[in-house]
Amino acid sequence: MVMRLPAAAVLLCLVDVLHAFAIEEKGDVFKRMACPAFLMFDNAAYLADMTFELPCNCKPEEVSSVIWYFQKNVGSHKTTVLTDFAGTVVVDSGHIHAGSDVLKRFSIRMFSLIVFRAQVTDSGHYLCGTKKGEFFYGYDVDVQPTKHITVAFVDRGQHVQDDYTEKLFSLFTAFWDWTRCDRCGVRGEQRRIGLCYVQSAQLHPRYRAAMANVTSCGSRAVPAHFQHPGRLRRPEVAIRSCLTPCPKEEVPEEGVQAISNVISKLGEKPWLPRVPTQFHKQPVGSGLIIACPGARPEHAVAWDKDSVRLYRSRYLVGVNKSMRVFIDHGNHLHIQWVQVSDGGTYFCWREGKMVAGFRLSVMYQHRHRRTFNDPETIYAAKAIGMSYVLISIVFIVIHVCRCCRRVFRCPART
């Protein structure tokens, strides 16, 4: 007699087998790699707002859970414990914001530490150990800022920064690979992120990197008298145009496209991409930040408003000094001082595929009593104060000139 197991039971057995295989595979890694007798720090560099994972590459076989610690400087008495002492912290990355404290932006899974949306203040030493204070493995993490990042548009003939060479060290930019084209079927853009690195024979021997005598500019391995020039060199991003075809299943048929063009010309609703769309109402004069679902700063992300392409060559933050609508280096779309004309549908591309829509409706809000904490009140107070200072300066200069003119015109008495 043959007994048939329910499908749910089969799936549960399969999950248990895979979990056991994962634990066994992880255990084999710890068996193959012995912990160093002297604690070393692996260098790792990231751009702000990125998410990174630090695996605990070695531990004694009898240790069943690890504790992660954070130190700004080696030997510092101020140490932050990034765990619940059980080594099982798991968080939902969807509820994490850039301004959150590091204690709210980390997760521990299979002995590895995951830090979401890293900030510059997260730079420092991360140590894997036990609750008794025994350390097995360490990392020297350098999170480089996106503020004032250097941007080069390759299509315009712009070039990245030149290498900076001194007698004892040299600074250069190490670039990642080009991202995928952020759109398909139409002209898109590619990005290439570059981080600041230093090469010198005087780096601290306790820190190690992929190449000898090379580490990131913000690493603690860099001597103090080298760090000032390193802070002056900024991370870089290069942007160029690209064109890649869409997969066959995503390209609308020629007849459907022709019919949609006719309907559009007649003033009816044109053909729209079939993507999940979120509806949102925003009051006039407020600020809005839109994030692409599932996208990270290192992904290729693009934004469209209806049929208008919001290319980075025009809408990247910092391209113009005064920008009300722009895209930051974390791939978020910003709309400051929302206006009625901003209403419409914003489409998000991720890794060359359109994944989501955002239908924005702009509404007028009822007037409310202003307070001194309102951004509009603060802005108006600053504008009025600056205007008063400028008028006062002009008034004083005019009167001083008139007085000087009268003094020099008066005839000398005999």
- pLDDT attached to residue 295: 86
Is the pLDDT at 263 greater than 70? The verdict is no
Least confident of 178-182, 203-207, 361-365: 361-365
Q: Average pLDDT for residues 9-29, to the nearest whole number? A: 41
Cite the DSSP H helix spans in 99-196.
Answer: none
- pLDDT 10s digits, 286-323: 889 998 988 888 899 999 999 899 999 899 987 877 78
The answer, as to whether pTM is greater than 0.85, is: no
**Contacts by 50-53, CB closer than 8 A, 24 or more apart:** 50/117, 50/118, 50/143, 50/296, 50/297, 50/298, 51/93, 51/114, 51/115, 51/116, 51/117, 51/118, 51/296, 52/114, 52/115, 52/118, 52/141, 53/112, 53/113, 53/114, 53/115
In angstroms, rounded to a whole number, what is the distance separating the alpha carbons of residues 23 and 17? Answer: 10
Identify the three-state secondary structure at position 13: helix
Is the pLDDT at 177 greater than 50? The verdict is yes
- With CA atoms as reference, report the closest residue to 144 among 39, 290, 295, 43: 43
118, 48 contact by CB (below 8 A): yes
Is the pLDDT at 218 greater than 80? The verdict is yes
293, 347 contact by CB (below 8 A): no
The order of strands in the sheet holding 106-109 is 52-54, 112-115, 106-109
In angstroms, rounded to a whole number, what is the distance separating the alpha carbons of residues 29 and 42? Answer: 18
Higher-scoring residue by pLDDT: 395, 379: 395
Residues pairing with 128 in the sheet: 68, 137
Q: Average pLDDT for residues 228-239, to the nearest whole number? A: 79
Which residues lie below 8 Å from residue 244, measured CB to CB, with a gap of 6+? 180, 181, 183, 184, 188, 352
* H/E segment holding residue 14: helix 7-32
Residues pairing with 80 in the sheet: 70
Amino acid at 383: A
- pLDDT attached to residue 357: 93
Local confidence band at 403 (pLDDT 50, 70, 90 cut-offs): confident
In angstroms, rounded to a whole number, what is the distance separating the alpha carbons of residues 7 and 178? Answer: 44
3-state helix/strand/coil string of 292-351: CCCCCCCCCEEEEECCEEECHHHHECCCCCCCCEEECCCCCEEECCCCHHHCEEEEEEEC
Local confidence band at 244 (pLDDT 50, 70, 90 cut-offs): very high
Is the pLDDT at 22 greater than 70? The verdict is no
Is the pLDDT at 33 greater than 50? The verdict is yes
Identify the three-state secondary structure at position 113: strand
- pLDDT 10s digits, 348-368: 999 999 999 999 999 886 655
Local confidence band at 229 (pLDDT 50, 70, 90 cut-offs): low
Least confident of 152-161, 200-209, 259-268: 259-268
In angstroms, rounded to a whole number, what is the distance separating the alpha carbons of residues 392 and 396? Answer: 6
Higher-scoring residue by pLDDT: 3, 244: 244
Q: Average pLDDT for residues 167-186, to the nearest whole number? A: 90
- pLDDT attached to residue 4: 42
In angstroms, rounded to a whole number, what is the distance separating the alpha carbons of residues 107 and 190? Answer: 31
* H/E segment holding residue 41: strand 41-47
Amino acid at 232: L
- With CA atoms as reference, report the closest residue to 101 among 114, 89, 86, 119: 119
Q: Average pLDDT for residues 43-48, to the nearest whole number? A: 90
Tokens standing for residue 412? 């000398």
- pLDDT attached to residue 106: 78
- pLDDT 10s digits, 274-286: 888 999 999 998 8
In angstroms, rounded to a whole number, what is the distance separating the alpha carbons of residues 135 and 132? Answer: 9
* Chain Cα centroid distance, residue 269: 36
Our CA angle for 207, 298, 83, nearest 5°, is 55
Q: Average pLDDT for residues 365-383, to the nearest whole number? A: 68
Please give the sequence-ordered ranges of beta strands (E in DSSP) within 187-329, or none if there are none.
187-200, 207-208, 214-216, 236-243, 277-283, 288-290, 301-305, 308-310, 325-327
In angstroms, rounded to a whole number, what is the distance separating the alpha carbons of residues 360 and 409? Answer: 67
310, 333 contact by CB (below 8 A): yes
pLDDT > 90 fraction of the chain, expressed in percent and rounded = 25
Q: Average pLDDT for residues 38-45, to the nearest whole number? A: 87
337, 326 contact by CB (below 8 A): no
Q: Average pLDDT for residues 386-399, to the nearest whole number? A: 89
- pLDDT 10s digits, 73-93: 776 677 788 765 444 454 444
In angstroms, rounded to a whole number, what is the distance separating the alpha carbons of residues 258 and 4? Answer: 54
Least confident of 127-141, 252-266, 385-399: 252-266
* Chain Cα centroid distance, residue 383: 32
Most confident of 58-72, 333-347, 366-380: 333-347
